[in-house]
Amino acid sequence: MTITPNPGRRPHPTVADRVERLPEHVRALVTEIETEIGEEGAEPAIQAPTPAEVIEGRASGPDGQAARLEGDAFAVEAAVRQILAEIGEDPDRPGLVATPRRVHRMYAELTAGYHVDPARLINGAIFDVDYSEMVVVKDIPFYSLCEHHLLPFFGSAAVAYIPRGKVIGLSKIPRIVEMYARRLQVQERMTQQIADFLMDTIDPMGVGVVLEATHLCAVMRGVKKSGTVMTTSAVLGVFRRRDRTRAEFFSHLERRPPEP
């Protein structure tokens, strides 16, 4: 049976199409996550606007119009104005009149991870190496947004894997963390996503990921317990099957890095 596409429906946009419609400062961030300066296949980074241009709304796209997501900016800004009014503020007073635009631009930046192309991020940086011991990258800082309250949670990530004849470029691991952090998240899911991505991409013998983070939804509101830290882990392959491998991974996390 031949299925004829509905002529009234637009095709789903590709990653490239979605990125092209992003504001310049967000496209610059996506490019920064995906590629390194001078990396083969990397496109020139888009010049990000200055902080003053972002705050004052002077950043513009190639058509000279204010940089904004197509069709979404006015809806987002209208929603922020409504929130300000609902909490008893005047969205037209001088200190708040530009807040809806700022909030829209801020969320576009903080959720840039949705637009990162994993293939461009990896960019062939997988190498055949005769090495089968544990590789650990730790103390990777990240900042994300809790999807339940849209409040930040932030901390550090540790990622380990045991190669099966292939290793991934060192800088790619922090970029993978950044790709998943810049989304609306829960820490448990983000931990698993990082582990699954590495497992699927380089087919190692196993992967271990640990995230430690402070959640402002627990510090600023609710129970208001300052100093609370949440730890999550995901272990796959030999990290799950072998107690000694898992113990070795956790022992690496206890060691402090050497002084520079």
Exactly one of 212, 217, 248, 252 is catalytic; which is it? 217
Q: Both tokens of residue 139?
A: 């103390």
Active site residue 217: yes
Active site residue 104: no
Exactly one of 43, 56, 82, 148 is catalytic; which is it? 148
Cα-based distances in Å from 198 to 113, 175, 180, 203, 222: 16, 12, 12, 7, 35
In this structure, the number of other CB atoms found within 10 A of the CB of residue 257 comes to 7
Exactly one of 43, 56, 147, 188 is catalytic; which is it? 147
For Cα atoms 185, 176, 134, give the angle at the middle one, nearest 5 degrees: 115
Exactly one of 25, 77, 178, 187 is catalytic; which is it? 187
Note whether 186 and 123 are within 8 A (CB). Answer: no
Exactly one of 146, 178, 185, 193 is catalytic; which is it? 146
Active site residue 146: yes
Active site residue 187: yes
Exactly one of 25, 104, 115, 215 is catalytic; which is it? 215
Active site residue 149: yes
In this structure, the number of other CB atoms found within 10 A of the CB of residue 70 comes to 9
Exactly one of 149, 192, 254, 259 is catalytic; which is it? 149
Strand pairing class (135-146; 126-128): unpaired
The DSSP code for 111 is: T
Where in the sequence numbering do the catalytic residues fall?
146-149, 187, 215, 217
